[in-house]
Structures are given as C-alpha cells and as structure tokens.
Amino acid sequence: MLTVEKIGGTSMSQFGDCLCNVIKRNRTESTMYNRIFVVSAYNNVTNWLLEHKKTGEPGVYAKFRNNEDYETALDEICRKLLDINHSFECIGLNLAEANNFIQYRIEQAKTYLSSMYQVLASGYVEKSNIYLAAREILASIGEAHSAWNSVNILNNHGINATFIDLCGFNDNEMLTIDERIHKAFQDIDYANTLCVATGYTKGTEGIMRAFDRGYSEVTFSKIAVDVQAEEAVIHKEYHLSSADPQLVGVDKSIPVGKTNYIIADQLADVGMEAIHPKAAKPLELAGIKIRIKNTFDPDHPGTVISKEYVSPVPKVEIVSGTDKVLAFEVHDPLMVGEVGYDLKVMQIMKNYQISYILKSTNANSITMVVWDKPYVHKMLEDLKTQVYQVQIKPVALVCAMGTNIAHPGFLYLGAKALSDNGINIECFAQSLKQVNMQFVITRDRYADAVIAMNDALCLQH
C-alpha cells in the first residue's frame, strides 16, 4: 500500500516527534517503506523568506521588491537556519553536511536574485514576472532545507531515504509542475526506499503564481495522483475536530473521524483549511481518500475525508467560522422586480477579483459576506458610487457543517443556542444542499457563538 504523506511546518519543527510518532512508530524493516513524505519548511521559515502568512509582516521578498539589502537579510535567515540545524544534531543530523547544504543553496539563491536585478535594471522585461520568479526562488529554500535534513537524519538512523528535490535549482529544464513530479518519481523503487520530497515544485507555470502559500499541499496532491497512492495522509499538530480546541477547550473538541470532500470545501471557504481546495480536487477526482492525523496523538486513526461518505445518522460534524469578515448590504428601492440587478454588483467584485462567502437577498437588498482585506475596502468605495446605498459592517461568521444535516431541528438548535446566549443573528444562509448553516453575528461574540453551537450541536450526538 503506497501512501503519500505530508508533514506540516509546526510538526517538522519537532522532527524528533515526527521520527518517533509518524515515521518509525509500529514499523518493522519490512513495513518501513512504500511511503513518500512531502515536507513543509520548518515553522516560520517561509514567513521569514516571504511575509508572515497571518500578519503580513514583510520578509526577504519585500526587500528584494523594494530594492533594499536583501542579501544581508538572506544572511540573517541563513544564521537562523543554521540554528535550526544545530537543534537537530541531537537526533542524528550531520551538522557539517547540513550546514554546507543550506549555505550553498542560499548562495545559489543570491546569484539568481542578483541576475534578476540586472535584468530588471535593463528595463526590457515586465517587472511582475521577475518578482514572481524571485518569490518562487525564495519560497523553495525552506522546503529544500527541511527535506534534505530529514533524509540525512533518516539515513543516520539506518533508514534508506531518498531526497527528492523538486526545486529545480540545478537544472534549466522547462518542465511543467506535473512533468517535473512525474520525472522525479518514475524510477523509484518504493519498496526499498523512503522518499522525502520538497513541498515546493518548480514548474513553467509557477506554483506560487497559481496557488501562492498553498503550494506544498498542491505538490502533495499532485504526487499522490501521479503515483496512484492508496491514501493521502496529512500530519498536523491537531486533529480535525468538531470545533477549535483553543476556543472550546480540548475536552470539548471531538475528532471528526469521517467526513467528505464537500465539508472540506466548506471549511476552506471560511479559511479553516483541512486541505487547500485546489489540492483537494485532484485527489477527489482520482478517488484517493485523505486521512488527517495528529502528529502528537499517533495512536488515533485520525479523520478520513472521502468522496462518498455520508454520516449514517443525522449530526453536525463541525462548528467553524471566522471573525475576520465584513458584511455589506446593497439597498435600492428600485431593485424589486428588476432582472439582473445583482449582476452589476458581481461585475464590480469580479473586477477586483473578490468572491463572497455568503449571499442573502430580499426584495430590495443584497447582503454579502467577504474577507476584511484592504482591497475589499477599495472595491466597496467603488461600489458606493454605482448603487443607491451600501451599508458595511464588520462581522463574524459561525457555521454548522455536516454530511447529514438535511433534517428538521438542526437550524432550530443552532439558532436557539445563539439566542440562549444573547447572540443576535444579523444574517443567515443555507443552500438546498444543506451541508452548511451560516450565521452572521457581531465580531465580539464569535468565540461565545462557537462554544454555544459546539455544545448544542456536536456534544449532544
């Protein structure tokens, strides 16, 4: 049974636990192999190289774009990576070899970036393409670092491991992402070696251009499809649970166990990705199940996401959401009966490349929920000039999701849980598919709402 398994950055930073809990646990010499591991960069490394994923704090990439001293910034990153290497010496990393590898890789990156600056200075090329290429180069450093280290540690533990470097630093082959992955794995004897691949893959289309920070999961997905894996496993630092344990408490956060790809899409839509939606689709179409496991709870089977699963009993599986959204309402007394009024609104949103999470309408109003981002505010200012009236409100969105909730009572229980806790429902939406009930509430009550709905809908089943 060939599996492709992804290890996230937080887990990679505790690689000693990964070694014991993921790679070696319950394995004998005969069952050690037939696995491909796709690894993320160590925790925060990609944030240092690009920008912080959550706060937006700039990294080396911003210095390159702003014509600042990116080389000194890369030297500082190199020192941090050497410190990370030192922390793994106690679990078998050959420090001298590891340091040589990452120092050489960073020097290579400097050479590429320097050449790009010269091309930029010529004025003959489109700057955006050069900036995207620089972003790709910087991103790849983190995954190359963690993958190489992992292989070195595994080999020093007597495990035959192979480094699959998909970063393309040492070749000028014009391969697509799929072509590079296929070429890298076509001659591997999986029964006798454990592969560790970089989460970054170089390709002519640019993996970050297409998927940005979700690229490692896309690499993971494409590898699983290419090698026709039996199962795709994601190792995270937490279970896929009924609700965020940081909000409701570990004792009230129940591992889901089983769900389907539709629910995974609903989670991604509110920013709580079990897996990047563009990574999930190829796996879904190929009929490959995803198993999400907690690195630090290795004996738990985790949660399996499959195409066909529907809970045999009606139940809410997950309560999730976000407090980082805006609700805006377009109101016009002349809207009633006018065909295609919302087309005007949607066209403005399309011009700004903005999609909505929720949409609800009445006779003369359209309400949408969107992410609270600077470019969204620009769109809303534009929208105000083209419609009768726009009202904007910072809000939170709390959702009750399940593969089998199309039954009387669930909406009542969700609304009652909010009402009993004095939380007003500002807006609501549910499609005919009935897999996701979306409640719009004030931001200050988000945590209270998640706790209340988890208690009422998930802990009672």
User: Sheet of 258-260: strands edge to edge?
Assistant: 161-164, 194-198, 35-39, 3-7, 231-236, 289-294, 303-306, 258-260
**Whether domain 318-458 has CATH 3.30.2130.10:** yes
DSSP letter (8 states) at residue 90: G
Task: Measure the CA angle with vertex 84, ends 82 and 85; round to 5°.
Answer: 60
What's the pLDDT at 277? 84
DSSP letter (8 states) at residue 402: -
What's the pLDDT at 461? 58
Ordered DSSP codes for 64-85: HHTT--HHHHHHHHHHHHHHHH
What's the pLDDT at 159? 96
Distance spanning both ends of the chain, measured CA to CA: 34
Same fold, 3-237 and 318-458: no
Residue segments in the chain with a per-residue pLDDT below the cut of 70: 461
How do strand 194-198 and strand 389-401 relate by DSSP bridges? unpaired
Q: CB-based contacts of 374: which residues, under 8 Å, 6+ apart?
A: none
What's the pLDDT at 129? 86
Ordered DSSP codes for 279-341: HHHHHHHHT-EEEEEETT-TTS--EEEESS---SS-B--EEEEEEEEEEEEEE-TT-TT-TTH
Residue 43 sits at φ, ψ, to 5 deg, of -50, 130
Q: pLDDT per residue over 113-125, tens digit each?
A: 999 988 887 777 7
| CA separation for the pair 238, 12 (Å, rounded) | 13
Q: Domain extents for the chain?
A: 3-237, 318-458
What's the pLDDT at 340? 86
Question: Domain 3-237 carries which CATH code?
Answer: 3.40.1160.10
What's the pLDDT at 272? 79
What's the pLDDT at 29? 82
Secondary structure of residue 247 in the 3-state scheme: helix
Ordered DSSP codes for 169-213: TT------HHHHHHHHHTT--TTT-EEEEES----TT-HHHHHGG
How do strand 231-236 and strand 3-7 relate by DSSP bridges? parallel
